[in-house]
Structure 1
Amino acid sequence: MNLFTKPKSEEDKLIEGCIAGKRDMQRLLYDLYSKKMMAVCLRYAPTNFEAEDIMQEAFVKVFSNLQNFKKDCPLEFWIRKIMVNTALKHLRSKQLLTVSHENEEVTNLPSDGVNLSGYSLNELMGMIQSLAPRYRMVFNLYAIEGYNHKEIGEMLGISEGTSKSQYSRARAILQSMLTRQEKPFQEHVIIG
């Protein structure tokens, strides 16, 4: 090794091993990220079975395209993006992602926050999962994945305004669910 060569990180070695087709390295990468990525897939898929299918298909894409991974972003972010894109493609192919293009008027949106205390993550995720697919996709992409409405519009083939209105509608529906099920005598945690 010369003085100008930077030592390889564990992640670099893992990526190189996967590209070389080493099964133990591929298994290690899968084990490192599969639980987090399953959670991503579950947010988009209507059933656990479909989430598993999406994740498997996405990991095939990860391994097939790992040689194209650029180190300008974290590996986990790159894998997550593949998971989200695979989920959206799956839902489009099943015609589960039918996004309304009309601008919907959102009424009765509570102006103050909603109490989230007393709810488990599973309860909250169940509420999100119960949204209509078009609302769930936009809500997940914006509130959880961190995409902006312009990016969401491009991903889903809708306008930025439609993305905003669908997010607002999803948020209103969730706030309504939370208000109806609010648990008394709990410390208040606010979503804005």
Structure 2
Amino acid sequence: MQLFKNNSHLNTWTIEKAKEGDRRAQKAIYDSLSEKMFAVCLRYMGERSAAEDVLQDGFVTLFAKLDTFSGDGSFEGWARKIFVNTALMNLRRNDVLKDTEDVSEARSISSEAPSAVQDLSYKELCAMISSLPPGFRTVFNMYVIEGYAHNEIASALGISEGTSRSQLLRAKAMLQAKILERKK
């Protein structure tokens, strides 16, 4: 029996074997997800060594909770939530999410920024996002990349919705400044 279907998506058989403790199936899951989940961890943590720690913790949690995957929906989507939550727990534990205060003002976004973004490579954009302060970076990732709503972000991070909105606006303004500076 094949561990992969089309070499890109884990099949049900592989997941079931991994639930039974089959090391080969668990390795197949790790091999299939590790690169994508490392990118998720790096976006949240901002530095490679912290992202590697979160990746390891995330896989420990994933394999411990594998029995809770019902098969409804995407396995990768289910796994992504585990890695995002693991990163958030790490950030909360290190108390880096409450470094900024709630501010209602935000700078306007320049019309030059969207065209400048198109000139960036994926790697350059990721580096800019990683350079944001932890609170800004976390809210930006959750809202823009993961698609969480402000009330969900506030609940997950233990901040107010206003703080979530403020940090998102400040993150966007900081990214805009970095992008426009690079364009010069």
- TM-score w.r.t. length of structure 2: 0.88
What is the aligned partner in structure 1 of residue 154 from structure 2?
153
Q: Superposition pairs for residues 26-65 of structure 1, below 5 Å?
A: 26-65=26-65
2: CA distance, partners of 1:135 / 1:87:
14
- Structure 2 contact 150–164 (Cα < 8 Å) conserved: yes
Structure 2 runs not aligned, ≥5 long: 1-8
- Other-structure match for 1:79: 79
1:144 corresponds to 2:145: yes
Q: 1:92 to 1:16 in 2, by over 3 A?
A: same
User: Residue 95 of structure 1 aligns to a residue in which SS?
Assistant: coil
1:69–1:28 distance in 2 versus 1, CA, 3 Å: same
Q: Which amino acid aligns with 2:22?
A: K
The runs of at least 4 aligned residues of structure 1 exceeding 3 Å deviation read: none
Q: One-letter code of the match for 2:86?
A: T
Equivalent pairs, count = 175
1:42 Cα deviation from its structure 2 partner: 0.5
Deviations 1:5-35 (A, max 9, x none): xxxx962211111111110000000001110
Counterpart for residue 125 of structure 1: 126
Where does residue 172 of structure 1 map in the other structure? 173
Name the SS for the 2:11 alignment partner. helix
Equivalent residue number for residue 181 of structure 1: 182
| Aligned-residue CA RMSD (Å) | 1.8
Is the radius of gyration larger for structure 1 or structure 2? 1
In structure 1, runs of 5+ residues without a counterpart are 1-8, 184-192
CA distance in 1, matches of 2:75, 2:67: 12
CA contact (8 A) 2:143 2:149 kept: yes
- Determine helix, strand or coil for the equivalent of 1:102: coil
Pairwise CA distance, 1:113: 4.2
- In structure 1, the partner of 2:136 is 135
Q: Which moved more, 1:105-114 or 1:156-165?
A: 105-114
Deviates more, 1:54-63 or 1:93-102: 93-102
TM-score, normalised to structure 1, is: 0.85
| Structure with the higher fraction of residues in helix conformation | 2
What is the Cα deviation at residue 180 of structure 1? 1.4
The percent of aligned pairs where both chains have the same amino acid is 44
Is the partner of 2:183 in helix, strand or coil?
coil
Distance between the aligned counterparts of 2:136 and 2:50, measured in 1? 18
